[in-house]
Structure formats: structure tokens, C-alpha cells
């Protein structure tokens, strides 16, 4: 059996179900950088590095023929995780169960206040697997639709261009933007800025950061970033 387990973003967000499974499997498979999050389960761990996702998933499927295996993703494995690839590569019809986890944007949002409490779009700025034009098109359409926009993978060491293009588009807008680095972890840091100034935060933002662009109704209440549901307008409170 193959469990595709989300371990949450930030150590405190591991669900009971994930904990139970990690305590009971025969093998844990994960990205080298995540080994530290699963060592405490005292299980054999197989790791592969960045860009070795296909090898990792194939190994997990192979081992799952006669063992219980947990393939671990941070946050939710079905949100920019390996869940879909595992289904796509499952030629031997291994039983696969996805165990959801608390995704980074939920944790970042809670830390900022309530910024995704209305319709929102989730977008990754990584162009490793998705063409840049498509990412930009989706971003522009989401802005046009006045959606709140959560940006995963905003920047990496080698990849800043899309962030710069998006920050340039946002220069012309007047929206509230929340930036959370290491959400839910001890070293969490956050900023709430105007979209016109987002570009100035390029050195603050890295691959452990999530950016939440507010919609036209987003406001600050006691320094918290809030997306109103509309109750006050409707009920004239």
C-alpha cells in the first residue's frame, strides 16, 4: 500500500492521521531536505534530491508492492506535491491513499489574519513544468476577476523573472499584499505591504515564502489582513 502523506507546513501542523500512518509504515520516502521532518518516526528513510521526483515516486511504488510505504510531501501532497504523479506512474495498480495536510497558504493566511476568506486562486510561479506564458495569463485573469491570489514558489535562487513581471504588473494596482516566510515554523517572518511596493521586497522573498495578493475589498483591521465576506454591507452592521 502506498500512502501519499502531507506532513503540513510547519512542524505543528502534522495531522493525527498522518502521524498514525508514519508510525505504522515500513518505509518513508521523501525529498532529502525533508528528512529532518520524519526522522523521529524511526523508520527506514529513502531520499532523493531536487528534480529527482520521478525516481522517488517510482521507488515508492516499487517498494509498495510488498510493504506499506509513505511518500511524504510538505503541506498537502495534492497541492504542488507528488500525489498526481504517483497516480500517473502507477502501472501495477498499487493501492494508493492520499493523506491530506495543512497547506502553506492556510497557515500563512491564519498568520496574516483572514486574507483568503473569499474566492481565491492558487498559482505557482515555478516555470519548471508549466510554461511561463500560461502562468502569466492565469495571473492576469485572476487579477481581472478580482480574486485573492496565493502565489506559491514565488522565487528560487535561479528564477526571479516571473516574480519581477508580476511585481511590475502589481505596481499599477493599489492592493494589500501579505508575504509570509517559513509560515508556521519558529523562524516565521511576515510583511504586509502595498502592491506598488512589492518589488522592494525581492530580497526578503525566497523559496520558503508565500505571497497573498488581496482583492479590491481586502482591508487592514488592527494590522491584520482581512478579506471581508460581505456581512457588514449586507446586514448594515
> Contact residues for ligand SAH (CB under 6 A)?
9-10, 73-76, 79-81, 103-104, 108, 152-153, 180, 182-185, 207-210
Q: How far is the CB of 66 from ligand SAH (least distance, A)?
A: 28
Residue 134 backbone dihedrals phi, psi, to 5 degrees = -70, -40
Q: How far is the CB of 117 from ligand SAH (least distance, A)?
A: 19
Decide whether 74 or 218 has the Cβ nearer to ligand SAH: 74
| Residue least distant from ligand SAH (Cβ) | 75
In angstroms, rounded to a whole number, what is the distance separating the alpha carbons of residues 62 and 205? Answer: 38
User: Is residue 59 classed as helix, strand or coil in its secondary structure?
Assistant: helix
Query: What H or E segment, with its residue span, contains residue 113?
Result: strand 113-114
Q: How far is the CB of 230 from ligand SAH (least distance, A)?
A: 28
Q: How far is the CB of 185 from ligand SAH (least distance, A)?
A: 6
Any bridge partners for residue 23, and if so which? none
Q: Would you say 7 and 72 are in contact if contact means Cβ atoms under 8 Å apart?
A: yes
Q: How far is the CB of 133 from ligand SAH (least distance, A)?
A: 21
Decide whether 75 or 214 has the Cβ nearer to ligand SAH: 75
Decide whether 2 or 122 has the Cβ nearer to ligand SAH: 122
Decide whether 67 or 84 has the Cβ nearer to ligand SAH: 84
Decide whether 108 or 175 has the Cβ nearer to ligand SAH: 108
Q: Which three cell numbers stand for residue 227?
A: 478579506
36-46 b/e (C-beta count within 10 Å ≥ 16 → b)? ebbeebebebb
Q: Which three cell numbers stand for residue 2?
A: 502506498
Q: How far is the CB of 206 from ligand SAH (least distance, A)?
A: 8
In angstroms, rounded to a whole number, what is the distance separating the alpha carbons of residues 26 and 67? Answer: 6
Q: Would you say 101 and 76 are in contact if contact means Cβ atoms under 8 Å apart?
A: yes
Decide whether 175 or 211 has the Cβ nearer to ligand SAH: 211
The single-letter DSSP state of residue 8 is B
Amino acid at each position: 500500500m502506498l500512502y501519499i502523506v502531507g506532513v503540513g507546513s510547519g512542524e505543528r501542523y502534522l495531522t493525527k492521521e498522518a502521524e498514525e500512518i508514519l508510525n505504522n509504515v515500513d518505509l518513508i520516502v521523501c525529498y532529502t531536505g525533508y528528512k529532518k521532518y520524519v526522522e523521529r518516526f524511526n523508520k527506514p528513510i529513502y531520499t532523493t534530491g531536487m528534480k529527482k521526483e520521478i525516481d522517488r515516486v517510482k521507488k515508492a511504488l516499487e517498494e509498495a508492492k510488498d510493504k506499506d510505504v509513505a511518500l511524504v510531501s510538505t503541506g498537502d501532497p495534492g497541492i504542488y506535491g507528488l500525489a498526481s504523479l504517483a497516480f500517473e506512474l502507477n502501472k501495477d495498480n498499487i493501492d494508493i491513499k492520499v493523506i491530506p495536510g495543512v497547506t502553506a497558504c492556510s497557515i500563512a493566511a491564519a498568520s496574516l489574519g483572514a486574507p483568503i476568506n473569499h474566492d481565491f486562486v492558487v498559482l505557482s510561479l515555478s516555470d519548471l513544468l508549466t510554461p511561463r506564458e500560461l502562468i502569466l495569463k492565469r495571473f492576469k485573469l485572476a487579477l481581472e476577476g478580482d480574486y485573492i491570489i496565493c502565489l506559491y514558489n514565488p522565487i528560487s535562487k535561479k528564477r526571479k523573472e516571473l516574480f519581477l513581471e508580476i511585481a511590475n504588473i502589481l505596481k499599477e494596482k493599489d492592493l494589500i499584499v501579505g508575504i509570509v516566510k517559513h509560515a508556521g515554523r519558529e523562524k516565521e517572518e511576515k510583511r504586509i505591504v502595498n502592491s506598488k511596493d512589492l518589488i522592494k521586497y525581492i530580497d526578503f522573498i525566497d523559496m520558503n515564502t508565500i505571497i497573498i495578493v488581496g482583492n479590491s475589498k481586502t482591508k487592514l483591521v488592527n494590522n491584520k489582513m482581512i478579506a471581508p465576506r460581505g456581512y457588514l454591507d449586507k446586514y448594515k452592521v
